[in-house]
Amino acid sequence: MDIRKVITNLDDDEDVRGVYHEFWLVYFWQWLGAFLLFLSPFFFLFLFLDWGSLGSALLLLLFFAGVLWLLRTWRRWYYGVIAITSKRVVIIRQAGLLDRTVSQVDLDKIYDVTYRRKGILQNIINVGILYLTPGSFEKVELGQIADPASIQKLILKTQQEFMVQFAQASRPEPTHQDLLAVVREIRSLVGEERWQRIASGDADERQELIDEVAAKSAEKARAIEQFFGKEDHEEE
pLDDT tens column, 5-22: 777 778 888 888 889 988
176 alpha carbon, distance to own chain's centre = 39
CB-count burial class (<10 Å; 0-12, 13-18, 19+) for 235: exposed
CB-count burial class (<10 Å; 0-12, 13-18, 19+) for 131: middle
Between these two residues, 216 and 234, which has the higher pLDDT value?
Answer: 216
User: Amino acid identity of 86?
Assistant: S
- Over residues 192-211, the mean pLDDT reads 80
Quick one: pLDDT at residue 233?
A: 42
- Over residues 77-92, the mean pLDDT reads 89
pLDDT band at 152 (very low <50, low <70, confident <90, very high): very high
CB-count burial class (<10 Å; 0-12, 13-18, 19+) for 151: buried
Specify whether the CB–CB gap between 19 and 1 falls below 8 A.
Answer: yes
Quick one: pLDDT at residue 186?
A: 82
How far apart, in Å, do the first and last CA atoms of the chain sit? 50
pLDDT band at 103 (very low <50, low <70, confident <90, very high): confident
Which residue, among 107, 74, 72, 70, has the nearest Cα to 90 in the 3D structure?
107
Quick one: pLDDT at residue 151?
A: 92
pLDDT band at 184 (very low <50, low <70, confident <90, very high): confident
Specify whether the CB–CB gap between 87 and 163 falls below 8 A.
Answer: no
Taking the CA atoms of residue 70, residue 74, residue 75 and residue 81 in that order, the dihedral angle to the nearest 10 degrees is 160
- Over residues 165-186, the mean pLDDT reads 72
Degrees to nearest 5, angle at CA 229 with 228 and 232: 85
pLDDT band at 236 (very low <50, low <70, confident <90, very high): very low
Quick one: pLDDT at residue 153?
A: 92
